[in-house]
Chains A and B, each alone.
Chain A
Amino acid sequence: DVKVTQSSRYLVKRTGEKVFLECVQDMDHENMFWYRQDPGLGLRLIYFSYDVKMKEKGDIPEGYSVSREKKERFSLILESASTNQTSMYLCASSLSGGQGASYGYTFGSGTRLTVV
């Protein structure tokens, strides 16, 4: 069963901490995405990557960075966690190519991050 695995289901971090959220996919997908999900705001794209070592800013990249050193792994980094980054974080992947999204995204189960 193919999947996207997020390393933590729940995290509690302190303000100012550097936080790493890890995502691994086993489908050999080129494209990987990080979203945050908040009530009433839907899914907002933070960063995405269409190849190893490549990254593109999404709609809300401020306060975040990413790393993709291997094809299967895409990490989201909160450089200095703040309370307004308390959210559900979702990782997704899709096939490559201009129509990659046409095959659909596969999402992980999410990491619920609380910053106190």
Chain B
Amino acid sequence: QQQVKQSPQSLIVQKGGISIINCAYENTAFDYFPWYQQFPGKGPALLIAIRPDVSEKKEGRFTISFNKSAKQFSLHIMDSQPGDSATYFCAATGSYQLTFGKGTKLSVIP
């Protein structure tokens, strides 16, 4: 079974700090790496995604860093806000089916 390993399982960050969530994958055929954000009572929503031909992608306060040789990618949330408190899932695919990490519950405290 193809796996995407995500860490940490939970994360507490103070307002204004940097939140970092890490993922590692095994399948070198993966070529699309999205991150999903899920608020309580809602389904996951696509947050940001990257392809392995770039090492970094930034959208506002959210940045994906990608290390192809290490088969790792990470989500950085700069200037974290209480409104960022949610569960974050990394994922990867090389076809039409996503493989998800197990999720990270982020709590941003004032």
Contact = CB atoms under 8 A, between A and B. Distances in A.
A binds B: yes
Interface stretch (A13-21, A65-73, A75-83, A101-109): A101-109
Given A4-B43, A59-B1, A90-B44, A42 B98 contact: no
A107 B101 contact: no
Contact of B42 (A31, A92, A109): A109
Chain A interface size band reads 20 to 34
Contacts of B45: 107
Interface string A1-41: 00010000000000000000000000000010100000011
A101 B97 CA distance: 6
A61 interface: no
A42 B96 contact: no
Nearest to B93: A101
A102 B102 contact: no
Nearest to B92: A101
Interface of A: 4, 31, 33, 40-43, 45, 48, 50, 59, 90, 92, 94, 96-102, 104-110
Question: 5 closest A-B pairs (Cβ-Cβ)?
Answer: A107-B43, A42-B102, A100-B96, A101-B93, A104-B46
Interface of B: 1, 6, 9, 31-32, 34, 36, 41-46, 49, 89, 93, 95-98, 100-103
